């Protein structure tokens, strides 16, 4: 079974600063996909960034980047130049290549302080 | 940009009643999903649907639940006899299923908040 762990239930960061959200997972699969989703107060789930496990290069999307450590089964999200609109719950998700479902972590509630 | 839509946004029902939650996935997507999120908890997988049949379901998805794609656009989740513990936000999602990593990205609808009284 796949499990995803987000050990930081809540975090806060000053506007314009950088914050890192952690995510670890447990799997016996060698190839899989990893995602970070953002859930603002509206509760809509919005994709932030995605990563293929067989790619060494860390994914980057504007102010968002990941630190993917496959051996350590770690997939952390770094948000640079934090903005007030980044305030949301962030979920890490895992999916097997031949799989059908996302396995979500318990989420990290991020608050950006003006 | 195409998006997944869900109706209603909020449904209130009495315990024991049947409810149908509706979703319109993105038109060229092949895989469809239902997830639920009890307030303050993580998002949990319920069921996946491909090629007009269930491809995977979780332990939560018992005989009280069913899914259907009655036409080429709608994807529904039915709960036959609702219980108090079914109160949650229900998310529909779809994905393309082709095109490498992008085909695995799931697009979520805005959710239906179900309240069982």
Q: Which residues contact B24 (CB under 8 A, 6 or more apart)?
A: B4, B5, B6, B73, B74, B75
Pick the CATH number of A3-113 from 2.60.40.10, 3.40.50.12780, 3.40.640.10, 3.65.10.10: 2.60.40.10
Model pLDDT for residues B2-46, shown as the tens digit of each residue: 789 999 999 999 999 999 999 999 998 999 999 999 988 889 999
Chain A residues with CB within 8 Å of chain B CB: 33, 35, 37, 42-47, 50, 52, 91, 95, 97, 99-107
**Distance of alpha carbon B73 from the chain centroid:** 14
pLDDT tens digits, B51-63: 999 999 999 999 9
When divided into structural domains, chain B yields a total of: 1
Q: What is the pLDDT of residues A41-52, one digit of tens each?
A: 877 889 999 999
Identify the residue whose tokens are 């979703």.
B23
Q: What is the pLDDT of residues A92-108, one digit of tens each?
A: 999 987 777 889 999 99
Length of chain B: 117
C-alpha separations of A75 from A49, A82, A105, B32, B56 in Å:
11, 19, 12, 26, 26
The reply to whether B113 falls in a domain is: no
Domain assignment present for B117: no
Residue B87 contacts A, CB cutoff 8 Å: no
């Amino acid at each position: 079974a796949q499990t995803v762990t987000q050990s930081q239930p809540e975090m806060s960061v000053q506007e314009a600063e950088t914050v890192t959200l952690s995510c670890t997972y447990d799997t016996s699969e060698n190839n899989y996909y990893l995602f970070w989703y953002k859930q603002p107060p509206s509760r809509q789930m919005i994709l932030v960034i995605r990563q293929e496990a067989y790619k060494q290069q860390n994914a980057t999307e504007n102010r968002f980047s990941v630190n993917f450590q496959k051996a350590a089964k770690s997939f952390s999200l770094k948000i640079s130049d934090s903005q007030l609109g980044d305030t949301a719950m962030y979920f890490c998700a895992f999916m097997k290549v031949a799989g059908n479902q996302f396995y979500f972590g318990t989420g990290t509630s991020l608050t950006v302080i003006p | 940009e195409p998006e997944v839509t869900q109706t209603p946004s909020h449904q209130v029902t009495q315990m024991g009643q049947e409810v149908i939650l509706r979703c319109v996935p993105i038109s060229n997507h092949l895989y469809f999903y239902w997830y639920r999120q009890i307030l303050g908890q993580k998002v949990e997988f319920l069921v996946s649907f491909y090629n007009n049949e269930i491809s995977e379901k979780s332990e939560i998805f018992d005989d009280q639940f069913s899914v259907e794609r009655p036409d080429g656009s709608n994807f529904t989740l039915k709960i036959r006899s609702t219980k108090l513990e079914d109160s949650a936000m229900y998310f529909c999602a779809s994905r393309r299923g082709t095109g490498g990593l992008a085909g695995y990205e799931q697009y979520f609808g805005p959710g239906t908040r179900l309240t069982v009284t």
